[in-house]
Amino acid sequence: MGFDFYSFHFFARKLGLMESLALGDFTINMGQGLIHWQGLAFKKSSEITAVKRQSPVMKPYRSAGEFNFHRGVGISLKKGNWTSTIFGSVRQLSANTESDSAGGKLYVTSILTGGLHRSDNELADRLSLRQTSIGANLKFKKSIGMPD
């Protein structure tokens, strides 16, 4: 029957106007974690530069975990001071579901992040939820010179 989890990515950087291209599994980091941040972010440092999270917007996913990534396509384009990133992802997640007693509709009670599928109940919950994510980011960055 194979493994519980397979991962694949193709990732290219700095090809003309294309800053980065991701096909398959990748992570997105934008908005200092208030909007979207899937990479590591360490806190509590005496350095003032540690206040701002710094990471590329898009990176290939290289872990064995089944949860904290996107599966689809993403592209970043850069021209002059402008950088634009667009991504789309569709993937299946493991989740606990229950039906509403009044209407009979299914709803999600929790999303399983551990990646374990040991019992019959865990196997029944495997890949029971479809997650669709799309997003975009437009950034303008200009260096300001110091006066003489």
pLDDT, tens digit (0-9, with 9 covering 90-100), for 88-132: 999 998 888 888 888 888 888 888 887 778 888 888 888 888 999
Q: What does the pLDDT read at residue 11? A: 95
Residues 6+ apart with CB under 8 A from 118: none
Residue 15 pairs in a beta bridge with 18
Q: Two tokens at 57? A: 């917007």
Query: What is the C-alpha to C-alpha distance for residues 14 and 7, in angstroms, rounded to an integer?
Result: 24
**31 vs 88, more confident:** 88
Confidence band, pLDDT 50/70/90 cuts, at residue 40: low
Residue 29 pairs in a beta bridge with 37
pTM metric for this prediction: 0.78
Query: What is the C-alpha to C-alpha distance for residues 126 and 119, in angstroms, rounded to an integer?
Result: 11
